[in-house]
Amino acid sequence: MKVLVTGGAGYIGSVLVPALLDKGYEVRVLDNLMYGGKGLVPCLINENFEFIRGDVRDEKVVAEALKGADLVIHLAAIVGYPACKKFPDLARTVNLDATRLIDKLRDKSVPIIFGSTGSNYGAIVGEICTEESPLNPVSLYGETKTEAEQHLMNSGNVLCYRFATAFGASNRMRFDLLVNDFVYQAVRNKNITVYEKSFKRTFIHVKDMVRSFIFGIENFEKMKDNVYNVGSDKMNYSKEEIANEVMKKVDYYLHFAEFGTDEDKRNYEVSYEKVRALGFDTEISLQQGLDELIRASSMLDIRNEYSNI
């Protein structure tokens, strides 16, 4: 099977692509290398790896990338509240328009696995979100991903994953993710200020995200034309709980702000029973991920240009 991975040089893709190659798949990556391509350098030795440098919004480039592909994993996106706020036009064209373009150009017999997001739920307090819960995105990121997901679901032969918030180390490291950011600030700056400490999120390690994509390929026929929350019920945490877990491992000053707000208003708790019933569950705990991130924060010196605790 030849798998096309859009955005394959990114945070998730640079972990996913080597895993797919290890499984024996042929892998073609389409990426514009906005954040560089160093994460894929170890893949160059593998004869089953192919790279196309190009824009996922370019019809000619996308058509070329789709040739001979047996399945598409669509990751290319402007990810997260801060980045989408900073580049709103780019967010709309990449997250939504490019998704429509891929769907238009693919043969409908070619499956798509779409990396959607739990951000689609927005702020739902007092209940646990299932795949049937109403969507209430509270950011441009959530809005564009919700529209893209709905477009693909209407098209068919699609599997959509609403992922929990990612964390953990990647070959293309990001420190603008909440857990990653908390650890980096604790290790490097020795202090964290947390707004709206009771707001809840749910989390998934990037390697478990990769496992879910492989699970989706292997079980596509029984999963297709459905949306699945992907994460673990054991990984629902408030921001206060995350900060306190970090404090068990790192000595730093923690301040819970009584005034001021977090512009990212997501606040939800999610059920993962639907995907677990099919046999998928996460393996990496928050505590394991924190240990990894503490080591990564000590090694890497990366400016967090979208920091917004």
In a domain, 278, yes or no: no
Are residue 57 and residue 71 in the same domain, yes or no?
A: yes
| 224 and 251 assigned to the same domain | no
Give the residue among 13, 181, 205, 34 at the shortest CA–CA distance from 113: 13
**For every one of its 309 residues, what pLDDT tens digit does the chain have, with 9 covering 90 and above?**
999 999 999 999 999 999 999 999 999 999 999 989 999 999 999 999 999 999 999 999 999 999 999 999 999 999 988 889 999 999 999 999 999 999 999 999 999 999 999 889 887 666 889 999 989 888 999 999 999 999 999 999 999 999 999 999 999 999 989 999 999 999 999 999 999 899 888 999 999 999 999 999 999 999 999 999 999 999 999 999 999 999 999 999 999 998 766 666 667 789 999 999 999 999 999 999 999 999 999 998 765 444 433
- Asked whether residue 83 falls in the same domain as residue 180, the answer is no
Domain CATH number, residue 262? 3.90.25.10
pLDDT at 292: 98
- Is residue 306 assigned to a domain? no
Point out which residues pair with 123 in neighbouring strands. Answer: 267
Answer yes or no: do 132 and 194 share one domain: no
Task: Give me the helices (H) in the chain, please.
Answer: 13-22, 59-66, 81-86, 88-92, 98-105, 140-155, 178-184, 206-218, 220-223, 239-247, 273-276, 286-299
* All residues at 6 or more sequence positions from 59 whose CB lies less than 8 Å from its CB, including other chains: 101, 105
pTM to 2 decimal places? 0.93
In a domain, 252, yes or no: yes
Which residues have CB under 8 Å from 259's CB, separation 6+?
A: none
User: Do 152 and 261 have their domain in common?
Assistant: no
Q: Do 109 and 239 sit in the same domain of this protein?
A: no
257 located within any domain: yes
218, part of any domain: yes
Q: What does the longest C-alpha to C-alpha distance in the chain come to?
A: 56
Q: Hey, what amino acid is at 87?
A: F
> What total number of domains does the chain contain?
2
Residues 160 and 14 grouped into a single domain: yes
What is the enclosing helix (H) or strand (E) of 167?
A: strand 165-167
What are the respective helix, strand and coil percentages of the chain, to the nearest 5? 40, 20, 35
Same-domain status, 67 and 209: yes
With respect to residue 22, please indicate whether it lies within any of the assigned structural domains. Answer: yes
CA distance 217 to 231: 17
Report CA Rg, the chain.
19
**Looking at the structure, do residues 120 and 217 belong to the same domain, yes or no?**
yes
Q: What is the pLDDT of residue 308?
A: 37
Domain of 59?
2-166+203-231
79 and 132 in a single domain? The answer is yes
pLDDT at 304: 47
Q: State how far the alpha carbon of 110 is from the alpha carbons of 2, 115, 155, 224, in Å.
A: 11, 16, 12, 12
Evaluate whether residue 88 is within a structural domain: yes
CA distances in angstroms from 5 to 10, 18, 112, 180, 262, listed in the order given: 10, 12, 10, 24, 33
Q: What is the pLDDT of residue 307?
A: 40
The CATH number of whichever domain residue 134 belongs to comes to 3.40.50.720
Q: What is the pLDDT of residue 125?
A: 63
Pair (124, 226) in one structural domain? yes
Please tell me the predicted confidence (pLDDT) of residue 267.
77
- 3-state helix/strand/coil string of 170-217: CCCCCCCCHHHHHHHHHHHHCEEEECCCCCEEEEEEHHHHHHHHHHHH
- Say if residue 71 is in the same domain as residue 146: yes
Does a structural domain hold residue 253? yes
